Structure 1
Amino acid sequence: MASSPLGRPTRGTTGTNRLRRNDRWIAASAAFRRADDPLVVDLGYGASGVTAFELTARLRRTRADAEVRGLEIDPVRVATADAQLAEVRAGRTPFPRDLRVSFARGGFEVPLADGRRPAVIRAMNVLRQYDEEDVAAAWRTMATRLAPDGLLVEGTCDEIGRVASWVDVRPDGSPLRFTISLRLAGLEHPSIVAERLPKALIHRNVPGERIHALLTDLDREWDRAASLSTFGATQRFLATVSALREQGWPVLGGRTRWRLGELTLPWEAVAPVAGP
């Protein structure tokens, strides 16, 4: 247990299924699937341990040996999560009793016993309250705790998990990829994600910045593909992403991921003109 955790307590907003899109991303990642030790840290899980329970349940569908460690700075939140875990162990929740999940006090230093290094550290909705200038240092501090082939996933989502974005960060603290993940049903414009960009990008959505150009092009192609709405929002989004790629945007992945409402690009494609 860390005596002086690094960082500040999050606002604590927690909701069932809020991070399901991010859970799915982590479960599909090579860092998790190929890890010798499939330990994932849910850093800053909030006022309830539910996101850690959900993450563990979803990860073990991919690897039965998946384990999640929830970390929070606030000891009251750790006590709350431990009480919830007791309910899980007693079989009084929808979660399997034998979930490999635990909770402890900790922050950006990611304290773990026995020198363990997580395959993935997830820090969603943690850096929103920080200054943009703090982001790179926070990335580096967390990333140094990763396994050699590990991944830090840092980003933001809305309260019900329909709009999200995140950055994949390498163990050396450098950003690797940027992902937007949207619920396509009922989506008016993809640029709604502007309100939920990671801290490194949220203040850069202005003319002259790459993220602004991406969201502008994304909305334009979404509008152009409006006729495909007859066949569903998924087909419209597939056409939108294909058009972006044809224009030269270095879109990663393929239709399997795009169907989920995901758009991923190398970090360099959206990086601030001067920044992390």
Structure 2
Amino acid sequence: MREMSAPVGNPTRGTTGTNRLRRNDRWIAASEALRRASDPLVVDLGYGASGVTAFELATRLRRARADAEVLGLEIDPQRVATARAQLDELRAGRTPFAADLPVAFAHGGFEVPLGGGRRPSVIRAMNVLRQYDEADVHDAWQRVASRLAPGGMLVEGTCDEIGRIASWIDVTSQGQPVRFTISLRLAQLEHPGVVAERLPKALIHRNVPGERIHDLLSALDREWDRAAALSTFGPVQRWLAAVSALRAQGVPVQGAKHRWRLGELTVPWSAVAPVD
């Protein structure tokens, strides 16, 4: 694996928690970008102070593609050293993860350094762009996505510290955003609009009247309130009713109910794209 002396980007805060990215893991595992890839290599870009998110991602991807591999990339050399030490422990069988898990770690940033001409099918960049300006997002998408294989996908977004509130954007290998997804733990959820605090950088400052993302979250909160009577049957039924109501009103909700049951709501990027 080729090492880069001057990776592109800024270090993240490095906060990493066990199972923090579980919602995003299962999204990638179900994606066409992974399932149809000729080379199912997935990059965990900016994984943070611990390699655990890469281990968890590889474990979940293996169930969808037995030949899937994960490469964790970090701009901070010390974080790479820490993750490699954790990997040594894993290989020795001293962790809860399989000793043969197909994971590696390397020093790198938005340039996504890979050897042998390989191009990843998916690049995951969760909680990476939070410290950047909104104006920097498009260029970051373009640079990172250019490293993808044809038909590949960049998944860029944000989640809370314990992984109960998450949202992300799917970006094509041409650097074009195509889908926006929110994913919430439905148990004890007061309002879906809580995701406003964890929107991707491209949207977080746009949750104001007159913007599409504001319209979507307001409508979702409204339908969640209207479906309150279904709480008797559990939060999943209440969520299904709210999402179904949005679709009936013409909101271009994507996916099937088995995805909605996970607390997901996906719409085309055009349904939330900033108004300029």
- TM (normalized to structure 1)? 0.99
Shift of 1:86: 0.2
**Structure 2 CA distance for aligned equivalents of residues 96 and 17 of structure 1:** 16
Corresponding position of 1:240: 242
Of 234, 252, 255, 1:253 maps to: 255
- Where 1:7 maps in the other structure, the secondary structure is coil
Alpha-carbon distance in 2 for matches of 1:201, 1:35: 29
Once the two structures are superposed, residues 14-68 of structure 1 have per-residue CA deviations (whole angstroms, 9 ceiling, x without a partner) of 0000000000000000000110000000000000000000000010011111100
Distance 1:48 1:3 in 2: 21
Structure 1 equivalent of residue 175 of structure 2: 173
Q: Corresponding residue for 1:196?
A: 198
Q: C-alpha offsets along residues 155-198 of structure 1, whole Å, 9 cap, x if unaligned?
A: 00000000000000000101010000000000000000000000
| In structure 2, distance between residues paired with 1:270 and 1:3 | 38
Q: Could you tell me how far apart the structure 2 residues matched to 1:164 and 1:43 are? A: 17
1:177-220 deviation line (CA, Å, top 9, x unaligned): 00000000000000000000000000000000000000000000
> Does 1:94 pair with 2:106?
no
Partner of 1:149: 151
Q: CA deviation at 1:249?
A: 0.4
5+ residue gaps, structure 2: none
Distance 1:174 1:31 in 2: 15
- Given candidates 48, 52, 56, the residue that maps to 1:54 is 56
- Letter of the 2:267 partner, please give it: L
Q: Extract structure 1 runs of 4+ deviating beyond 2 A.
A: none
The answer to whether the aligner puts 1:29 opposite 2:63 as a matched pair is: no
Aligned residues: 274
1:219 maps to amino acid = D
* Ranges in structure 1 where 5+ consecutive residues have no aligned partner: none
Matches within 5 A, 1:1-276: 1-274=3-276
Identity level (%): 78
Q: Normalized against structure 2, the TM-score is what?
A: 0.99
Q: CA deviation at 1:2?
A: 1.2
Distance 1:272 1:199 in 2: 11
Q: Which whole-Å deviations, capped at 9, do the CAs of 1:124-154 have from their partners, x for residues lacking one?
A: 0000000000000000000000000100000
Aligned equivalents of 2:111 and 2:194: distance in 1? 33
1:264 partner letter:
T
Q: Distance in 1 between matches of 2:104 and 2:34?
A: 18
SS in 1 for 2:273: coil
Distance 2:171 2:64 in 1: 22
Q: Secondary structure at the match of 2:16?
A: coil
In the aligned structure 2, how far is the partner of 1:160 from the partner of 1:141? 29
Look up the equivalent residue of 1:145 and give its one-letter code. R
Q: Which residue identity is paired with 2:266?
A: T
Structure 2: which amino acid aligns with 1:52? A
Q: Equivalents in 2 of 1:16, 1:136: separation in Å?
A: 30
Letter in 1 for 2:27: W
Residue 159 of structure 1 aligns to which amino acid in structure 2? E
Provide the secondary structure at the position in 1 that maps to 2:98.
coil
Q: Secondary structure at the match of 1:252?
A: coil
Whole-Å separation in 1 of the counterparts to 2:268 and 2:14: 30
Structure 1 residue 3: deviation in Å?
1.6
Q: CA separation in 1, counterparts of 2:270 and 2:7?
A: 32
SS of aligned partner of 2:170: strand
Separation (CA, whole Å) in 2 of partners of 1:208 and 1:257: 29
In structure 2, the residue corresponding to 1:114 is in which secondary structure?
coil
Give distance in 2, aligned partners of 1:36 and 1:53. 22
The residue type equivalent to 2:228 in the other structure is A
